[in-house]
Structure formats: structure tokens, C-alpha cells
Structure 1
Amino acid sequence: MKEYKIVKQKSSLLKASDAEFETDLNSHAREGWQVINIVYDSNQMIMKAVLEKDKHR
């Protein structure tokens, strides 16, 4: 079974750096999460990543 998580960029694209978002994604990767999709939310002007990992029972 899989579990999913949505990670939002901490600040809008106008203020954010790619490095900050990359650091956040790498932190989740160390916990076993894998990015399966990244989308742009035009209302909030941020990127959102959909993460997936195996759920341990």
C-alpha cells in the first residue's frame, strides 16, 4: 500500500529560490518519499510536489 503527501513551496515564485524548494524535497527523500509529480498553483503562485512512499503497517 502507498501513502501520499503534498509539499508546498514555502514562498511564492516571486520570492522563492529553487534551492530552498530543492532542500525541502531532499529532506523528504531522506525519509523515503519520492516525487511523482510537480504542479504550479497559479492562484497562490507556488509549486506543489506530490510525494509517494510505501506505507509500513
Structure 2
Amino acid sequence: MKEYKVVQPKLSFRNRLQSMEDNLNQYAREGWNVINIAPNWSNIVLEREKNR
């Protein structure tokens, strides 16, 4: 079974791309996979196996 998470990144104007990369890498370490990123980066949908 899968579980999903929708996150709204809080990004500063400085180092925006580095901050996004750091956040995505942290989610990846927790087992999350990116399913969708909204065109304006307003939200990101993540998925992972629930019974891991």
C-alpha cells in the first residue's frame, strides 16, 4: 500500500534552488519519491510504500 504527502515548500529568495534540493534529498532519505511538482513550485506530491 502507498502513502502520499503534499508539501508546500517554504523557500527564501536566496539560495532557492539549493534549499529545494536539500529538502528533496531529505525526503528521499526518508523513502519518499517525487510524483509531481507544480509548475510554480507551490506544492510537491510525494509517494512511498506505507509498510516499509
Root-mean-square deviation (CA), in Å? 2.1
Question: Hey, which of these two has a bigger chunk of helix by percent?
Answer: 2
Stretches of 4+ aligned residues off by more than 2 angstroms: none
What are the superposed Cα offsets for residues 9-51 of structure 1, whole Å, 9 maximum, x if unpaired? Answer: 2136xx251110110011010010000100045xxxx531100
Between the aligned partners of 2:32 and 2:24, the Cα distance in structure 1 is 9
Q: Structure 1: where are the runs of 5+ without partners?
A: none
Q: Normalization by structure 1: what TM-score?
A: 0.73
Q: Normalization by structure 2: what TM-score?
A: 0.79
2:43 match:
48
Q: Structure 2: where are the runs of 5+ without partners?
A: none
Work out the number of aligned pairs and report it: 51
1:28 match:
27
Between the aligned partners of 2:45 and 2:7, the Cα distance in structure 1 is 7
